[in-house]
Amino acid sequence: MIDAEAIAARSLEVLERLVGFDTTSRLSNLPLIAYVEAQLAELGIASTRVPSADGTKANLYARVGPAAPGGVVLSGHTDVVPVDGQAWDSDPFVLARRGERLYGRGTCDMKGFLALALAAAPALARADLKRPAWLAFSYDEEVGCLGAPDMIAVLAREEPRPATVVVGEPTNMQAVRGHKGIAVFKVTVTGREAHSSLTHLGVSAVMAAVSLMASLKALAERLELEANPASPFSPRWPTLTIGQVQGGTAVNILARECQFVFDLRCPPGIDPLAVLGPFFEEARGLDAELKAQAPEAGVAVARRSLTPAFAPEEDGQAERLARSLAGDNGPARVVSYAAEAGQFQQAGFSTVICGPGSIDQAHQPNEYVEISQMQRGAAFMARLVQALED
């Protein structure tokens, strides 16, 4: 029998180390990656980095067990969201236990799962595995799932093909079979500065941007009205929100520039680029109109990310495995957040989301994971080791 209590105890030690690395997405994750490499090397497990283009960050994957197809990937991201402006009761990068909760940035999203996977590595290394377990840790998930695709491509191209992927986003250790995708765009409107009393001499980038934002607001309202009543997601419709707006230098100056960023989250089967087609056409029309008033003016739309949705697999192999390991006999579940599961699925892997903690705690001040969730995760890992031995 695999000792789940030992895995649970070890996971808390590892989580303390992982939380101690400030891997906010704007920073490098390489110190954490080096720590993981060292931990695996002590067990005789070789790991492979898949670096970012500029070399400041890296994905890392490692195989434990035979070089054979049919294994299980334990996947998670190493980056976390910022703590700027949040009111924390303790240092967010020092693990703090209060009662039966563990507080710290990333405890829930999603270093708790990474800690469980690393805590299970010694048991995996000792076991007589018939099929391998893979640890796959990515970067820049929080800013558009930017890092994982390169690692997924290497796994698919160069390694014995795993049968299933478990993405350990927080689900209270329950199997989740689908998520929405996310498309993020930055719009930059350029105008010409002039005194605000002489509007005929300039072009206000803010005034022009308002018309585009109004169109997006109308689109968001229309998507809600056209919601599919049979959709399992909450909310049922594709959601569109403008999250950031910046522009102008003074109230009495026509703004030279205005920027805004929006995201569109679509359920599986809805193409975000098609949904936004009329908006792109409007932006092109406004670009020409502004250039006619001032050659230096215009509109530029830049795509930041296009993360695919994760479609439910009917009787999916990964979901069956996760349910058996988690003891989950509950209803089918989907989530409205985006994750890397859709990217693994797009590469042809049977995928499921299952990890400790609640998404309600993610990105919040005083983020925490329940110790009971880590214990459930440890039992999941212990059963996984046994399953790979059979």
- Catalytic residue set: 79, 141
Residue 145 pairs in a beta bridge with: none
Between strands 164-167 and 350-353, the pairing is parallel
Dist. CA 170–CA 168, nearest whole Å: 6
Dist. CA 279–CA 274, nearest whole Å: 10
What is the 3 state secondary structure string of the chain?
CCCHHHHHHHHHHHHHHHHCCCCECCCCCHHHHHHHHHHHHHCCCCEEEEECCCCCCEEEEEEECCCCCCCEEEEEECCECCCCCCCCCCCCCCCEEECCEEECCCHHHHHHHHHHHHHHHHHHHHCCCCCCEEEEEECCCCCCCCCHHHHHHHHHHHCCCCCEEEECCCCCCCCECCECCEEEEEEEEECECCECCCHHHCECHHHHHHHHHHHHHHHHHHHHHCCCCCCCCCCCCCEEEEEEEEECCCCCECCCEEEEEEEEECCCCCCHHHHCHHHHHHHHHHHHHHHHHCCCCEEEEEEEEEECCECCCCCCHHHHHHHHHHCCCCCCCCECCCCCHHHHHHCCCEEEECCCCCHHHCCCCCCEEEHHHHHHHHHHHHHHHHHHHC
Dist. CA 389–CA 130, nearest whole Å: 5
Peptide bond into 110 cis (omega under 30): yes
Dist. CA 307–CA 81, nearest whole Å: 18
